[in-house]
Amino acid sequence: MIEQPKPSALSEQVQNMIEWLASYGGDGKGGVTRLLYDPAWRAAQQAIKSKMEELGLLARYDDAGNLFGRIDGHDSKAPVILTGSHIDTVIGGGKYDGAYGIIAALIAVEYLKTYYGLPIKPIEVVSLCEEEGSRFPITYWGSGSITGVKKREMVRGIKDANNVPFEQAMHAAGFGTMQHPEPKRIDLECFIELHIEQGEVLEREKKSIGIVSHIVGQRRYDITVFGESNHAGTTPMQWRHDAMFTAAELIRLLIHRANMEKSGLVATVGRIDVKPNVGNVIAREVTFSLDVRHSDADKIHAFCEECFGEFEKIAAQHGTSIVCEKWMDESPVAMDSSLSAAAENILKKEGISYKTMTSGAGHDSQVFGTYCPAALLFVPSRGGISHSPEEYTNAEDLQRGVRLLIAMLHKLAY
Ligand code: HGY
Ligand code: MN
Ligand code: MN
């Protein structure tokens, strides 16, 4: 077992850095919003870059906006041990989602550098530019650019809710113009991500750490119903082509079917946009989001096919039409069993309770996991709440996760 930081000092350090990073994009009501390439995102990346340099790491961006802080190893040709998470958030998100993994990596690398000197293999901390898909209809832009599954042509033509084109936002933030190295990496040995669970399994089962064996697959759609606008007072019900009525029926069908599923499949409709969105006008167009997840990709496919088949019948009855646009389709991914076993051995030696589990949330480890060995390690979330200002993990759990990361990085790189 290696010499670890004092828990109390580590707790304080983690909490202070969580508050420090949350101040970038903080909305003053406990929520945090940092969207890809927006001012809060840029300020946060720059603050992390300064912190990396303060710690004596070699800090640099890539051309997608991912930020790396590197300590070289004695064997500079050795592949890189990469650790970190994403800097972007959902709108009005919490202080821990993504940020905790970056902060834990900074603290762990600083501690190892101070007490154990240079590693044999290079270690890099990464602040991944985008994971959530909160601003533009694309997810994993950061990890996907590094592994090569996300390409520039995929973002041509996509816009945010304010009609700002992706590449315009990217260029305005100083990326996408080859000022920085190409994002694609071929020198990675593995990726280790520390993250909050965003569920309540660990809390309910009173376990300190989650070792993720698999991350669920997920699909995301924008479903648009086209009807006919008309006067709310003078249009008899039987003459209407009401996009809102159709959308309501489709949403009910989706959630009802998901509730009937006993396989653990989850379906969520989280966003709805109505045109013209006026109280005394029958809706001509309604677009709503659909997020479907399961550890078995076939179950996701079967659920979508079955529901979309019903959609056509409902639209025909209402005289409306439907377009289902799939903009995300991630397969379930297994985490690396030997990295997970290494984590398990450390936890057993330290006498820290843990649970091997599936992740219902998507993570950058899902993208790295198809490219190099990846490990995803959870700390508990209070009440399982996440993607909310109420997101919280207590200091003791936070510092325990950092200690695990320190031990993992020491085992892998020293
Ligand atoms: O939505 C998710 O699964 C993750 O928080 N991006
Ligand atoms: Mn998230
Ligand atoms: Mn996350």
Measured from the CB, is residue 197 less than 6 Å from ligand 1?
no
Judge whether 191 lies within some domain: yes
Residue range 171-199: average pLDDT? 97
pLDDT higher than threshold 90 for residue 233? yes
Give residue 320 CA to ligand 3 midpoint distance, Å. 37
Is the domain of 183 the same as that of 249?
Answer: no
Is the domain of 44 the same as that of 179?
Answer: yes
Give the dihedral sign, CA 197/202/203/208.
negative
Is the domain of 224 the same as that of 361?
Answer: no
Ligand 1, atom 6, lies closest to the CA of: 132
Is the domain of 206 the same as that of 270?
Answer: no
Which-ligand-closest: CA of 140?
A: 1
Is the domain of 50 the same as that of 150?
Answer: yes
| Residue that wins the pLDDT comparison between 218 and 262 | 218
89-102 pLDDT tens trace: 999 999 999 999 99
Measured from the CB, is residue 94 less than 6 Å from ligand 1?
no
Measured from the CB, is residue 131 less than 6 Å from ligand 1?
yes
Ligand 1, atom 4, lies closest to the CA of: 362
Is the domain of 195 the same as that of 222?
Answer: no
pLDDT higher than threshold 80 for residue 86? yes
Beta strand pairing call for 188-196 and 80-86: parallel
Give residue 309 CA to ligand 2 midpoint distance, Å. 31
Total structural domains in the chain?
A: 2
pLDDT higher than threshold 90 for residue 7? no
- Select from 313, 330, 347 the last residue of a domain: 330
Judge whether 272 lies within some domain: yes
Tell me the pLDDT band of 76, cut-offs 50, 70 and 90: confident
Is the domain of 301 the same as that of 338?
Answer: no
Q: Residue 144: which CATH number? A: 3.40.630.10
Tell me the pLDDT band of 8, cut-offs 50, 70 and 90: confident
Give residue 195 CA to ligand 3 midpoint distance, Å. 7
Give residue 248 CA to ligand 3 midpoint distance, Å. 30
**Residue 288 belongs to domain spanning:** 217-330
Give percent of the chain with pLDDT exceeding 90.
96
pLDDT higher than threshold 80 for residue 299? yes
Is the domain of 302 the same as that of 375?
Answer: no
Judge whether 2 lies within some domain: no
142-178 pLDDT tens trace: 999 999 999 999 999 999 999 999 999 999 999 999 9
Nearest atom, ligand 1, residue 293 CA: 3
Is the domain of 264 the same as that of 359?
Answer: no
Cα separations (Å) of 388 from 10, 93, 266, 274?
25, 5, 19, 24
> Which of 140, 196, 198 gets mutated to test ligand 1 (max ligand atoms within 8 A of its CB)?
198
Give residue 11 CA to ligand 2 midpoint distance, Å. 23
Is the domain of 260 the same as that of 356?
Answer: no
Which pTM does this prediction carry?
0.90
- Select from 330, 355, 376 the last residue of a domain: 330
Give percent of the chain with pLDDT exceeding 70.
100
Nearest atom, ligand 1, residue 362 CA: 3
Judge whether 74 lies within some domain: yes
Contact 397, 352 (CB under 8 A): no
Give residue 192 CA to ligand 1 midpoint distance, Å. 17
Q: Residue 292: which CATH number? A: 3.30.70.360
Buried b (16+ CB within 10 A) or exposed e, 51-78: bbeebebebebbbbbbbbbbbbbeeeeb
Measured from the CB, is residue 391 less than 6 Å from ligand 1?
no
Tell me the pLDDT band of 4, cut-offs 50, 70 and 90: confident
Judge whether 1 lies within some domain: no
Tell me the pLDDT band of 308, cut-offs 50, 70 and 90: very high
Which-ligand-closest: CA of 90?
A: 2
pLDDT higher than threshold 90 for residue 196? yes
Is the domain of 204 the same as that of 349?
Answer: yes
- Select from 307, 330, 353 the last residue of a domain: 330
Task: At 295, list the tokens.
Answer: 């550890």
Give residue 89 CA to ligand 2 midpoint distance, Å. 6
Is the domain of 237 the same as that of 89?
Answer: no
108-148 pLDDT tens trace: 999 999 999 999 999 999 999 999 999 999 999 999 999 99
Give the Cα separation of 263 and 295 in Å (integer): 10
